[in-house]
Homo-oligomer: A and B are copies of this chain.
Amino acid sequence: MAKPRRINVAVVGSGVMGVAHSRAWRLLTVDYDLPVDVGLALLACRNERRTSLQRRYGWTDVTDSWTTAVERDDIDIVDICLPGDMHRHVAEAALHAGKHVLCEKPLTTSADDASALAALANHADSGTVAMVGYNYRRIPAIHHARRLVHDGHVGDLRHLRCSFLQDWAIDLASAANWRMDHTRAGFGVLGDLGSHLVDLARHVTGATFGDPHSGIMTTFFADRDGTPITTDDAFVAAVPIVDGGVATFEASRVAAGHRNHLRLEINGTDGSILFDLTEPHALRTVRRGESGWRLLSGTDLHDPWRKNWMGNPATFGTEFTYEYQALDLIESIHNATPTAPTFADAAAVHQTLESIAASAQTPA
């Protein structure tokens, strides 16, 4: 495939993620000397905000229909930031049209849909890149953790302990939203937060998960102001790791005092690693043969994306993860090299999520 002289991007959607991605694409052109021009060609959203977003981020065109993004020949990347129930339809159309696709997580609302998309992406033109927006993979501390595992720091896995706690839905003051509607979101925190955990666990450790899973899913409020709540407010699950060891996953949106608390711990035969999002610049490690945990932070961590004009690495914000994934997508397309997480990665995540849900027992 001939290297393009310019890569044009269309973002579809203008919610929190549509804005975050718009900013990331704009900053990408500011922060990096890219090997190819990247054009912010089209913002597609039905929301009135599109005009102000166009002005702010410099979108060349706006439209109220996502189909335009798929139909226009000059669009190279369709970046899908829509609610989960629309992902499959839009992604299929984009792949059929030969577009590269970046799709927000979770990829779909079911494992079947995810597998179908993965198969489609796989059979598409080999030059097409399909990537999923599990942005936490690109926190430098997470990247460093993956390298440590790869280099043998932890040995064989014994325990994976993954939790993601939030408290925004702790009481009825939080109105129902689409994440509480099974039809639109698939799962509740299992999909929203659990998918990050499963993706990170796979990414950092390379683990694959066996059977049987077991866990509990809970919905604490049957309805909010008359709207029935049809997704889980919390789940916990224990899952065997193929080749040995046990992974535990937990997420909640009703855990008082936890705003956005992701935590990933790995215990192996030769050492342990702990990442905690309340210390996003840090990683804690220990080796079996050594005394005491070590606290790595800032420039102690390997960061393949950072440039020196981005400020102090010890006080570096995770908002950069969106820019980093955009960078990797561009480089993957330009260099015709693989990147991840792929749609197949996302399908594997969904498979695990559904196994958890299938096995999960709901307390009476």
Contacts and interface: CB of A to CB of B under 8 A. Distances in A.
A257 interface: yes
B158 A212 contact: no
B294 A278 contact: no
A254 interface: yes
Given A278-B297, A318-B315, A159 B252 contact: yes
Interface string A255-279: 1111110000001111110000111
Contacts of A296: 291-292
A35 interface: no
A248 B246 contact: no
A267 B257 CA distance: 8
B257 A286 contact: yes
A252 B240 contact: no
Contact of A33 (B52, B277, B290, B292): B52
A218 B236 contact: no
Q: For the complex formed by this chain, how many copies does it contain in all?
A: 4
A293 B259 CA distance: 11
Nearest to A240: B363
**Chain A contact residues, majority secondary structure:** mixed
A319 interface: yes
A127 to B, nearest CB: 28
Given A23-B30, A56-B33, A248-B236, A317 B309 contact: no
A105 to B, nearest CB: 15
A108 to B, nearest CB: 25
Interface in A89-142: none
A250 interface: yes
A143 to B, nearest CB: 15
Interface string A300-341: 100000001111101111111010000000000000000000
Interface in A213-247: 214-216, 218, 220, 234, 236-238, 240-241, 244-246
Interface of A: 16, 19-20, 23, 26-27, 30-31, 33, 52, 55-58, 154, 158-159, 161, 165, 170-171, 210, 212, 214-216, 218, 220, 234, 236-238, 240-241, 244-246, 248, 250, 252, 254-260, 267-272, 277-280, 285-288, 290-300, 308-312, 314-320, 322, 359, 361, 363-364
Given A257-B286, A293-B295, 7 more contacts: A27-B30, A30-B30, A158-B234, A158-B256, A216-B238, A216-B246, A256-B286
24 contacts: A19-B309, A20-B309, A30-B57, A31-B56, A33-B56, A158-B255, A170-B288, A210-B364, A214-B215, A216-B240, A216-B246, A238-B238, A240-B364, A246-B363, A256-B267, A256-B270, A256-B286, A257-B272, A259-B314, A292-B296, A293-B294, A294-B295, A310-B319, A311-B318
